[in-house]
Amino acid sequence: MASDKPVVSIIMGSESDLDTMRPSWQVLADLGIDYEVRIASAHRTPDVVSEYAEGAADRGVKVIIAGAGAAAALPGVVAAHTALPVIGVPIDATPLRGVDALYAIVQMPSGIPVATMPINGAKNAGVMAARILALGCEELTVGLQQMSDANRGKIIEADQRVQGSE
């Protein structure tokens, strides 16, 4: 849950991104993973972003999820200031429907990796963060498997409903 000892940090460039990014921390909360949510802009508060990223590991953060729309510099700037894994979420925030953000995040220069999710793919970012953390935690691996099994069950049930309606 949101806590003083987060292991995942979720950062976005604007308050308007909160609804799009919410599924990432809902996944983390469902899995019992401590997280924090921050707002800072790569363009409007670059000093805050660099300080945040440089200090994340010292605060116990293990993975950073960074959501951004338009020019989408935030994930790359965060990745440039930390050795932690950074997961980028391109946000549909312009008339280009998030494609601009996707291109900005996916085309990072050599040595500055950002794992890129689909446009508005915050839920996948939460799952990816959990999978990274599960590398050292069997309990979390079990939780992720249960989540996967539940998703599988929903599809099987839907298929059975459709087959029964013919």
pLDDT at 166 over 70: no
Reported as a pLDDT band with limits 50, 70 and 90, residue 2 is: low
Q: Give the pLDDT confidence of 4-60 residue by residue, as tens digits.
A: 799 999 999 999 999 999 999 999 999 999 999 999 999 999 999 999 999 999 999
Distance CA 81, CA 76 (A): 9
Express as a percent the part of the chain with pLDDT over 70: 98
Single pTM value for the model: 0.94
Distance CA 75, CA 67 (A): 7
Q: Which fold has domain 8-135?
A: Rossmann fold (3.40.50)
Distance CA 85, CA 54 (A): 13
Distance CA 86, CA 159 (A): 36
Instruction: Break the chain into its structural domains and give their ranges.
Output: 8-135
**Which of these, 116, 120, 107, lies nearest to 87 by C-alpha position?**
116
- Cβ–Cβ under 8 Å, residues 146 and 27: no
Reported as a pLDDT band with limits 50, 70 and 90, residue 88 is: very high
